[in-house]
Amino acid sequence: MSLKFRKHEKSNDQKNKSQTCDIEDCSEPIFQSISVSNYEKALLKIGLDVKKERILVCKKHHKQIRKASKKDREIERIRRGF
């Protein structure tokens, strides 16, 4: 089984630095791109209603989303047997 890695280009990295967080009233640079389907419950707990498939979030909002989804991720990990 071979793994495929996405190639990073300099122009792509420079473009990401200029982008800001997708959360309203936040102008911090992006830290992570998050799949909404994986974190749907956590986003609703925080009070975010997102209609996109992926959102770009800053470090502060990424931490909030991860904390809100911790219990769900633990249950999923147990279900999978890890």
33 lies in some domain: yes
Confirm whether 46 is domain-assigned.
yes
Residue 4 lies in a domain: no
Contacts of 32 (CB under 8 A, 6+ apart): 56, 57, 59, 62
20 belongs to a structural domain? yes
Burial 58-80 (b: 16+ CB within 10 A, else e): beebbebbeebbeeeeeeeeeee
**Mean of pLDDT values over 47-54:** 84
- Asked if 13 and 31 count as a contact pair (C-beta separation under 8 A), the reply is no
Joined together, the tokens standing for residue 48 give 């975010």
Domain range holding 25? 11-80
Mean pLDDT, to the nearest integer, of 29-47?
89
- Asked if the structure places residue 59 within a domain, the reply is yes
What average pLDDT does the segment 21-30 reach? 89
pTM, rounded to two decimals: 0.69
* Six token digits for residue 65: 């989303």
Q: Say if 3 falls within a structural domain.
A: no
71 within some domain: yes
Number of domains within the chain: 1
Task: Report if residue 39 sits inside a domain.
Answer: yes
Section 1-9 average pLDDT: 45
On average, the pLDDT of the chain sits at 80
